[in-house]
Structure 1
Amino acid sequence: MDFQSIVLAVLFAWTLVQGLSLLAKRSKSVGKRFPPGPVPLPVIGNLHLLGEQPHQSLARLAQKYGPVMNLKLGMINTVVISSSAMAKEALQKQDLAFSTHRSIPDALRANNHSQFSVPFLPVASKWRALRKIMNSNIFSGSRLETKQRLRAKKIQELIIYCQKRSEVGEAVDMGRAAFRTTLNLLSNTIFSKDLTDPYLDSGKEFKDLVWNMMVEAGKPNLADYFPFLEKFDPQGIRRRMTCHFTKALDLFQDLIDERLEERKMNGNKNDDALDSLLNVSQERPEEIDRTHMQHMFLDLFAAGTDTSSSTIEWAMTELLKNPETMAKAQAELADVIGKGKPIQEADVTRLPYLQCILKETFRMHPPVPFLLPRKVEHDVNLCGYTIPKGSQILVNVWAIGREPNIWEKPLVFKPERFQNLEMDIRGQDFELIPFGGGRRICPGLPLATKTVPVILGSLLNSFQWKLEGNIAPKDLDMNEKFGITIAKDCPLKAIPIPI
């Protein structure tokens, strides 16, 4: 048989199997009410409806089919949740049913990462042990408190970098500058050292490495929709991800080896997360070992740097597009802190308008538009709908931030909407869940809520800003670039002018 005949035979066999499977499912589903959704096409299902911006495409479809929508993405049944009420039902009231398992993208099987990654492990004893270790040794209040002075130093280095650019009238690439700062904030918290020079336009290689990982993980992958293709990796996504993961894991391996050598020579003298984790691994090796640490660091640096720097870039973009909002924020800073003075983490509670700006940024530009995919292991009833066993669950946080019945003029950047609104980002108010909710809420939330407001406030209190090339605010490019995170398609470049 020639190649074409083989392909046709495989497709025929697959279609026959699917047809028999569908008949079997229909016989079992009598009396069940499934969520509505678009009619799937043969073989591809609803894949053709995703487009280049799936978060936007699925938000539009939800306007037609409702807040709980069923799609067939290839062979994978997918349920999309697009309202705060349904998100609360799934992530809070039925948290265990919707959080125990993840739908694992094939890209994250590279280097066996999904077998060690805390976000993708099932909620069981190993997940609980690693999550507890992470919370106690990296993100606990006491641990973060000991590094407060160091975080202030890293943010001051960002301001000094911007001052140098200001002296020669050159623009700052806001995303890259914020990335270097968040990278060094995290690397000093864990390793007590910078991973990039804070004063130079370096860090591009690591930024590109992180972004490439996020792009590959978020890219539509045929192997995710047709599991029988996993062994073939038809788009080369897992192969490229293996290359990216290997570079990052080798870096973390070298840092661990370096620290072990230091401990052998000088004893334990560092009060950082790495030493703390190494102590746990010596005392309770069954809970965490070197491999778990490497993969934990991979998760932390991939998730913690790109999301924070993207949030800062989007916030500055919205402020430059809305000069009156920036002026109001700077007036608050001048009144509470004093023009040009450093901002401390304790000051943030006295800066309510700055907090409103960040909430509005999270509403309009959530760092992870679908959170991370979940999976139900048995039929679940969600508000009268049967969610079939094995379904992938996507929570469209981007759509929730634009619910017209919740948000007045949802497409308008208006921080004032939060001034008399008792709403937080810590996972209890499901209208605003950029960090997720329930037991799967992002463990890095305590660090992000300490650092992101201070970075943004410091940039606003130290400089006036104008767009490179004298671009008018109304002409600012607001296009998105889709991955697991949403970045600006066109990087924001702005010229700092000392206040």
Structure 2
Amino acid sequence: MDQTSLTKVLNLLAPPFLLLLPLLFFILKCVSSPSSKNQSLPPGPKPWPIIGNILHFGKKPHISTANFAKTHGPLISLKLGKQLLIVGSSKRAATEILKSHDRLLSARYVFKAALFENHVLDRISIVWATQCSDGWKSLRALCRNELFSAKAIESQAVLREKKMGEMVGFIGRREGEVVGIGEVVLAIVFNTIANLLFSVDLIGLEDDGATTGLKSLMWRMMKLGATPNIADFYPILGGIDPQGLKRKMAVCVNQMFDIWGKYINERREKHVHDGPRSDFLDVFLANGFEDLQINWLALELLSAGTDTTATTVEWAIAELLKNKEVLKKVSEEIKRETDTNSLKESHVSQLPYLNACVKETLRLHPPVPFLIPRRALETCKVMDYTIPRDSEVIVNVWAVGRDPWLWEDPLSFKPERFLGSDLDFKGQDFEFLPFGAGRRICPGLPMAAKQVHLIIATLLYYFDWSLPNGEDPAMLDMSEKFGITLQKEQPLLVVPRRRI
């Protein structure tokens, strides 16, 4: 849901839909199960007739639902038209949703703007497969073994270090100039993953227009994905795509497919199935994947791994600039533990304070404020409340990371809270879940962790940073822009000065 979502929703409910919805509401109410009224649903704000709690969401629903939790409790229910939404905003709620009832709540809630029917998503998707079927498990295992295993991650170190060298060179040539750090990191990470998939750079780092265009395209896709869809609230409208979201999403997806489509065609024409595998495209082809499967998996891997990493790095640098003492400590640690004239990935494991800074960034600014929605396979009980079958269930990890019952001084950036602590983001500590937990935990977590730590260490090792025009970092705007990822509302613009 973007910054103008409230206006959009109001416009959507204007004629002709306003004439249609009362009739629709009456019909659906007549055919709904009478027993549903007696279910002990989680509490929540009182829904309005017909539209339910749609307007209660506001422009930043991660904040509005966190505020509702303060009033109604850590597990709330909201009616979005006819769709029931359950939101967990505490450690206990997250534990019950993602661990105690992981199997029953492991299905994926798929939005009406999805380009493919559920049975197609079950065949081609890791993220949006509707159930954790055997096919989904096999596909996920293939990606884990070939891309995200410890052995695979280690073998990718040379590539990551090469891309860090390109980033340092690019920024170094712009010493003293204003640099959009998020766009630079996005391009570097996109090309890193593209090389793992296709052995090519898909975007020219020096082509500012291409980088801006790519980021614009990715954000447009995420904006469309986060835009409230009247067809999700009233499923009977799903077949007519009333807002054109499905059509617009198809345009964006096809534009993304076009970026790497020629490489798939070229490789398929000359592929030798029993030859050595140089990248993940070879793995796809050796396993008999069709073009749609390859395109969709590439899209998921690139979009999930690129924007989340770039956003996390941008937030981290912003917090470090704003907190001078923290920046001084982490910079001194990097200098002290690095005894050569270049930074290697092997140095990063020797930087506990940097690790704490990354964790603190992920606590305050999780890449996704809501974990991707789940769907209840069966009716179950969570925190003694009834969760009806087919309910949409989400965890507000942004709220959990700022819970004053879990974190002392939760709104302050204090990496020291993680020093000497076993708390980690690998899905076992339910007060700290930036990558999720359970069956649906982010499979790319090991790669993302390596990337984020290495990029931040590289930026701090080679450069000193300041804000343009002598601006005071203490006054840096830290406002958030809500979407599938949680970005800075004002992109971070910084001026680099070479240290080495």
Q: Same fold (TM over 0.5)?
A: yes
Distance 2:456 2:279 in 1: 25
Supply the AA of the counterpart residue of 2:115.
Answer: R
Q: Pick from 167, 171, 177: which aligns with 1:170?
A: 177
**1:17 aligned residue (4, 12, 27):** 27
Q: Counterparts of 1:224-373 in structure 2 under 5 Å?
A: 224-263=232-271, 268=275, 271-281=278-288, 288-338=289-339, 341-373=341-373
How many Å separate the matches in 2 of 1:57 and 1:28?
Answer: 26
Query: How far does the alpha carbon of each residue in 1:215-251 deviate from its partner, in whole angstroms, 9 at most, with x for none?
Result: 1111222122121222222222211111001111233
Write out per-residue CA displacement over residues 57-92 of structure 1, whole angstroms, 9 at most, x where no aligned residue. 111111111111011011100100001121012111
| Cα 1:15–1:404 shift into 2, 3 Å | same
Q: Which residue of 2 aligns with 1:434?
A: 434
For residue 58 of structure 1, the aligned residue among 65, 79, 82 is 65
- The residue aligned with 2:187 is 180
For the 8 Å contact 1:87–1:430, the answer to whether it is kept is yes
Residues 34-57 of structure 1 show CA distances to partners (whole Å, capped at 9, x for unaligned) of: 211111101110011111111111
TM-score normalised by length of structure 2: 0.92
Contact 1:137 1:277 in 2 (8 A): no
Instruction: Tell me the SS of whatever aligns to 2:394.
Output: strand
2:47 match:
40
Distance apart, 1:119 and its partner CA: 1.1
Report the alpha carbon displacement of residue 28 of structure 1 after superposing the two structures with TM: 5.2
Q: CA deviation at 1:468?
A: 1.3
Give, in angstroms, the shift of residue 207 of structure 1: 1.8
Q: Which runs of 5+ in 1 are unaligned?
A: 282-287
Change (3 A) 1:400 1:390: same
Distance between the aligned counterparts of 2:117 and 2:302, measured in 1?
A: 17
* Aligned 8 A contact 1:378 1:389 in 2: yes
Q: Please, which of 91, 95, 100 is the counterpart of residue 102 of structure 2? A: 95
Please tell me whether the aligned partners of residues 310 and 486 of structure 1 are also in contact (alpha carbons under 8 angstroms).
yes
Letter of the 1:277 partner, please give it: F
Alignment check: 8 A CA contact 1:46 1:72 kept:
yes
- Report the equivalent of 1:106: 112
Whichever residue aligns with residue 62 of structure 2, its letter is H
Asked whether the equivalents of residues 113 and 241 of structure 2 are also in contact (C-alpha less than 8 Å), the reply is no
Residues 118-162 of structure 1: CA deviation (Å, up to 9, x unaligned):
111111122112111111222222222222111100011101111
Which region of structure 1 is more displaced relative to structure 2, 484-493 or 191-200? 191-200
Please say if residues 111 and 245 of structure 1, whose CA atoms lie closer than 8 Å, have aligned partners that are also in contact.
Answer: no
Aligned to 2:287, what secondary structure does the other structure show? helix
Distance (Å, rounded) in 1 between the aligned partners of 2:102 and 2:482: 27
Q: Which moved more, 1:122-131 or 1:452-461?
A: 122-131
Contact 1:263–1:269 at 8 Å: present in 2 too? no
Q: Output the CA distance in 2 between the equivalents of 1:263 and 1:292.
A: 17
TM-score, normalisation: structure 1: 0.92
2:442 is paired with a residue whose SS is coil
Amino acid at match of 2:113: A
AA partner of residue 66 (structure 2)? A
Out of 145, 151, 157, the position equivalent to 1:142 is 151
Question: Secondary structure of 1:381's match?
Answer: strand
Instruction: Report the 3-state secondary structure (helix = DSSP H, G, I; strand = E; otherwise coil) of the residue aligned with 1:138.
Output: helix
Give matches, 1:199-214, under 5 Å.
Answer: 199-201=206-208, 202-214=210-222
User: 1:370-381 counterparts in 2 under 5 A?
Assistant: 370-381=370-381
Identity of aligned residues (%): 39
Alignment of 1:348-427 (within 5 A): 348-427=348-427
Q: Which moved more, 1:306-315 or 1:120-129?
A: 120-129
Distance 1:491 1:172, change over 3 A: same
- Assess if the C-alpha contact under 8 Å between 1:187 and 1:195 holds in 2: yes
1:110–1:239: 8 Å Cα contact kept in structure 2? no
Aligned AA (1:91) = L
> Is the 2:126–2:140 contact (alpha carbons within 8 Å) kept by the matching residues of 1?
yes
2:92 corresponds to 1:85: yes
CA-atom RMSD, angstroms? 2.1
Matched pairs, number: 482
- Structure 2 contact 202–259 (Cα < 8 Å) conserved: no
Please point out which of 150, 161, 164 is paired with 1:155: 164
Provide closer, same or farther for how the CA distance between residues 8 and 336 of structure 1 changes in structure 2, counting only shifts above 3 A.
closer
Are the counterparts in 2 of residues 34 and 386 from structure 1 also a CA contact under 8 Å? yes
Supply the distance in 1 between the matched residues of 2:19 and 2:249 (Cα, whole angstroms). 32
Q: 1:114 Cα deviation (Å)? A: 3.8
SS in structure 1 opposite 2:173? helix
Displacement of 1:109: 2.7
CA change 1:494–1:6 in 2 (3 A) is: closer
Output the amino acid matched with 1:384.
D
Alignment partners' CA distance in 2, 1:431 and 1:238: 35
Shift of 1:261: 3.2
Residue 110 of structure 1 and its aligned partner are, at CA, apart by 5.8
1:471 corresponding residue in structure 2: 471
Distance 1:34 1:8, change over 3 A: closer
Amino acid at match of 2:434: P
CA distance in 1, matches of 2:393, 2:16: 34
Amino acid at match of 2:359: K
CA distance change for structure 1 residues 209 and 8 in 2, over 3 Å: closer, same or farther? closer
Q: Distance in 2 between matches of 1:29 and 1:204?
A: 50
* Alignment deviations for residues 271-319 of structure 1 (CA, whole Å, 9 cap, x no partner): 21111221122xxxxxx43321111111111111000000000101111
Residues in 2 aligned to 1:12 and 1:498: alpha-carbon distance in whole angstroms: 64
Contact 1:108 1:114 in 2 (8 A): no
Alpha-carbon contact 2:82-2:234 (below 8 Å) kept: yes
CA distance in structure 2 between the partners assigned to 1:12 and 1:425 by the alignment: 46
Q: Which amino acid aligns with 1:58?
A: T
Q: Secondary structure at the match of 2:494?
A: strand
Q: Counterpart of 1:57 in 2: which secondary structure? A: helix
